[in-house]
A and B are shown apart, each in its own frame.
Chain A
Amino acid sequence: MSNPRENEPEFMRLFVVHEPVLRAYARAMLPTWEAVDDVLQESSVVMWKKLDQIEHESGFLPWAKVIVRFEALRARRRVARDRLVLSEEAIAKLADQELEVSQDLLAGERAALKRCLAKLSDEHRRLVMMPYLEAGGLTQLATRTRRSANSLYKLLGRLREKLRMCVEQEMAVTAEGGRCS
C-alpha cells in the first residue's frame, strides 16, 4: 500500500477541483451546513488514505461521491433520533439521482446566480446572504427590526424561490445559445 503522504499533492489538487460538487452533493443529503462541513472533512480524510484505489483522474468524482454518500449515511445514523433528518431511502434516491451532476453544471448555475442576485435590491441581497454569514442572524434581525421571524423567513423563502427560477431561466437561455452557436 502506498504512503498517503506521497498522494498528498495529487489528492489535494483533485479535491480542490471537485470540492464544490461534492459539497452540493452532501447538501442534498444532509440537513445543515455544519453536518455538510463535517462530512466533507471526514470524507476527505478517507479519500486521501484510499486515493490509490483510483486508476485515472476521471474516476475521482464518482468515487468521491460514493465516499461522501457513505459518510453522509453514517452521519445521519448518528442523529437518527432527530425527526428532521431524511430517511435512508430518501437519501439513497437523491444520491443516485445526483451522481451525474458535474462541476460544469454547478459552475454554470453559480454564474447564473450572480446575474440573478444583481437583479435584487441591496436590502434583499443582504437578507439572502445573511444565513450564511452569521448563525442565528435572521432571528436576531427580526428582534432588532421588531418584525416577526416568521415574516422574515417567508420573505427569504420567496426570494430564494425567485432566485431558483431565475437561475433555471438563465441556464435555459445559455443552453439555447449553445445550441445556436
Chain B
Amino acid sequence: MNTDDSSKLIERYFLGTISETEMECLDAQLQSDTAFREAFAAMARLDTNLRETALQLGNETEQPYQRVFLAKDPLWVGLAAATAVVLGTWLFLWSQSNGLDHFARIVEVGGGSLRWTGDGGEVRDTLTKGLSLSGGTLESLSANSWVEIAFGDGSRMSLFGQSVMTISRSDEGKIIRLREGSLSVEVAPVHERKPMRFFTPTAEAEVLGTQFTLRADSSSTRLIVYEGSVRATRLADGISQDVPADHFVVAAADTAESFLVLPREHYVDSWRSTLPYGMGHGEWHPGVDGAEGYLEAKPLLWKEYGKHMVLDLASMSAAGRDQPTSLLNDGAHIRMVGRVAHDCEVHFGLTTHRVGGGFAGKYIASQRLAGSEDHFELDLPITSFKRQYSCFPESLVGHELVDWWALTINQEAGLEIISVELSAP
C-alpha cells in the first residue's frame, strides 16, 4: 500500500466513511506498521484540534465576555465571528428547507455552561447562535450563563442562571417544561390559536400572546405576568387562577400556602441578602459562637469558547417569592462583605430584568482583592457594573435586580460571602 492509499484509509476512518473491508486493512496496518500508526495518531490529534477550533469558532460570535477574561488575536476573532454568523444562519435555513422537525433556534448565547440534549440522544455542550433545535432539553448550568431561543411564530424565551427546560411540539402546540430555574417568556399572538403550555414541578400555565416570567424549584413556582394574561393551575390540587397583567401568583407544592393572585409588588430601592435563604451555588456555613454565617464559593467546571475554566462561584437570588422586587436606581450602591484567603481577582455579577418584563442582562464588576483573615467590605456604585455582552442594554439603571453572584476564575482563592446589600441612592 502506498502513502497516498494509507492517507485515504486513515481519512475515511476519521470521517466515518470507511468500509468493512477497508477497516480490516486499517486494523492490520495499525498492528504491524509503526509509521502508519504515527500517521494515524497525527490525524487523531489534527481531528482533536480541528474540533476544538470549530467549537471555538462557533462560540466566538459574541465577544464581550471574552474581552473580560481572555486575550485573543483580533484578526482570528473577526474571522471566527463572521464565520459563525454565516454558518449558523445558513445551517438554520438549510434545516428548514430540508423539512427537519426543527421548530426553534438559538438566537443569543451567553457563557459556555450550556447543554442541549436532543430527543434523539444528541448531546451538545457547545451551543452556537443560529443552531436549530427540535425537541429536547436545554440546560443553563451556571449562575452567569444565559441562552435565548426563538420559535417560528416569533415567540422568544430566555433561560438563565442554573435552569433546566425541556421543549417539545405536538399537534396541540408547543409544550415547555421548566424543571428548575428561571425562564423569561414572550409568547407571540399566534394565527393558529394553539396555546403554548408550560409545566413546572408545581404548576401549569397555558398562554396565548403574553409576556411573563417563571421561576421554579421543586417546591414552588412564581409566575409574574407583564402583558396579557395567563391561566395558572396549581398541580397539587388542580385549582386554577387567571393572572392578569402586572400581577403574580405563587403555586406551591404545599396547598396550605396561599395561591392568591396579587398585584405586582411596589418596588423597593434596597435589598439585603438573608442567607441561607435564596442561596444558589456554594456551600452555606452557619455562624457558630457568635460568628456570622457565610456562603463559601464552590468549584464549577465551565466551558467557554472551547476552553475549560474552573469557576469558584457563590450565587444567590435577589428575588425571593416573599420579597418585594428591588429596582436598580441611578446612584444606588452594592455593598458586599466577605473574605478571600489569597490575593485574587473577584468578578461580581448581577442579573437583571426589564421593568416591563423579561430578561434584561448580566453585568459584571471586577475587583482585585488581597487575601486576608479579615473581612473585605466593598461598596460599588451599580454604574461600575458593565454589561457582560454587547447585546445587553448598556446601563442596568432602571432594571429589576434578580440574581447576584461572585466568582474567581481558575483560582481557588477561598472566597466567602457574608452579606450583600443594595442601598438606596
Q: Which A positions have Cβ atoms within 8 angstroms of B?
A: 8-9, 12-13, 15-16, 19-20, 23-24, 27-28, 31-34, 37, 83-84, 86-87, 89-90, 93-94, 97-98, 101, 105-106, 109-110, 113-114, 117-118, 122, 125-126, 128-135, 137, 140-141, 143-144, 153, 156-157, 160-161, 163-164, 167-168
Q: Is the CB of A97 within 8 A of B310?
A: no
Q: Which of A32, A97, A110, A125 contacts B83 (CB 8 A)?
A: A125
> Can you list 21 pairs linking A and B with CB atoms under 8 Å apart?
A9-B299, A13-B410, A16-B310, A16-B410, A24-B44, A83-B20, A84-B20, A94-B40, A101-B41, A109-B46, A126-B86, A128-B50, A130-B87, A132-B51, A132-B54, A133-B128, A135-B122, A140-B95, A144-B97, A153-B17, A160-B50
Q: List residues 360-380 of chain B with CB under 8 A from any CB of chain A.
A: none
> Are B49 and A106 touching (Cβ within 8 A)?
yes
Complex Cα–Cα for A133 and B87 (A) = 9
Chain B residues whose CB sits within 8 angstroms of the CB of A135 once the complex forms: 122
The interface size of chain B toward A, counting residues with CB under 8 Å, comes to 58
Q: Are A110 and B53 in contact (CB under 8 A)?
A: yes
**Which residues in B have their C-beta under 8 angstroms from that of A93?**
30-31, 37
CB-based contact A98/B41 at 8 Å: yes
Distance A28 CA – B47 CA, assembled complex (angstroms):
9
Our pick among B16, B45, B76 for the contact of A101 (Cβ within 8 Å) is: B45
Residues of chain A with a CB closer than 8 A to B97's CB: 144
A20 CA / B128 CA spacing, docked (Å): 21
- At the interface, yes or no: B18 with Cβ under 8 Å from chain A? yes
B71 at the interface (CB under 8 A from A): no
B118 to chain A, nearest CB (A): 9
B46 & A164 in contact (Cβ 8 Å cutoff): yes
Q: How many angstroms from the CA of A101 to the CA of B46 in the assembled complex?
A: 13
Check B236 for interface membership: any CB of A closer than 8 A: no
Count contacts between A and B, CB distance < 8 Å. 146
Given A16-B310, A83-B20, A94-B30, is A133 in contact with B53 using a C-beta cutoff of 8 Å? no
- Verify A129–B54 contact, CB threshold 8 A: yes
Q: Complex Cα distance A83/B279, Å?
A: 51
- A144–B235 Cα distance when bound, in Å, is 47
Interface mask (B307-347 → A, CB under 8 Å = 1, otherwise 0):
01110100000000000000000000000000000000000
- Does B206 count as interface, using CB distance less than 8 angstroms? no
Is B16 within 8 A of A132, CB to CB? no
Within 8 A of A (CB), among B50-103: 50-55, 57-58, 76, 79, 83, 86-87, 91, 94-95, 97-98
In the complex with contacts A89-B31, A168-B42, A157-B8 CB distance below 8 A: yes
In contact, A28 and B31 (Cβ under 8 angstroms) = no
CA of A101 to CA of B48 in the docked complex: distance in angstroms?
13
Within 8 A of A (CB), among B12-40: 12-18, 20, 23, 26-27, 30-31, 34, 37-38, 40
- Give 9 nearest A-B pairs by CB, closest first: A132-B54, A28-B44, A24-B48, A90-B30, A129-B54, A157-B11, A16-B308, A110-B49, A27-B44
- Bound-state CA distance A117–B8 (Å) is 20
- Measured in the bound complex, the distance between the Cα atoms of B224 and A171 in whole Å is 58
For A10, the closest partner residue in chain B by CB is B412
Find A167's partner among B13, B17, B46, B128 (CB 8 Å cutoff).
B46
Interface contact B16-A32, CB-CB below 8 Å? yes
- B15 partner, pick from A90, A98, A144, A153, beta carbons under 8 A: A153
Interface check B301, CB cutoff 8 A: yes
CA distance A150 to B125 in the complex (A): 29
Instruction: Tell me which residues across on chain B come within 8 A of A98, comparing CB atoms.
Output: 41, 44
Known A-B contacts: A12-B310, A87-B31. Give 15 more (CB < 8 A): A9-B412, A16-B310, A27-B44, A27-B45, A97-B37, A110-B53, A113-B50, A129-B53, A133-B54, A133-B128, A144-B94, A157-B8, A157-B12, A160-B46, A164-B46
Contact check, A94 vs B310: say whether CB atoms are below 8 A apart.
Answer: no
B310:A90 contact, CB within 8 angstroms: no
**Measured between C-beta atoms, what is the minimum distance from B69 to chain A in Å?**
14
Determine the distance from Cα of A90 to Cα of B49 in the docked complex, in whole angstroms.
23
Contact A129 B309 (CB under 8 A): no
Chain B nearest Cβ from A44, distance in angstroms: 9
Contact for B23 among A83, A101, A131, CB less than 8 A: A83
B43 touches A164 (CB 8 A): yes
Name the B residues within 8 Å of A131 (CB-CB).
15
> Does B7 sit at the interface, judged by CB under 8 A?
yes
| Closest Cβ neighbor of B132 among chain A residues | A134
A134 CA to B51 CA, complexed, in Å: 11
Indicate if B123 sits at the interface (CB-CB under 8 A).
yes
Measured in the bound complex, the distance between the Cα atoms of B125 and A51 in whole Å is 25
Interface centre among B7, B41, B76, B83 (most CB of A within 10 A): B41
Q: Is there an interface contact between B48 and A23, defined as CB atoms closer than 8 Å? A: yes
Pairwise interchain contact B12-A109, C-beta atoms closer than 8 A: no
Measured in the bound complex, the distance between the Cα atoms of B38 and A155 in whole Å is 23
Is the beta-carbon distance between B53 and A113 smaller than 8 angstroms?
yes
B189 to chain A, nearest CB (A): 32
B contact residues around A33 at 8 Å (CB):
51
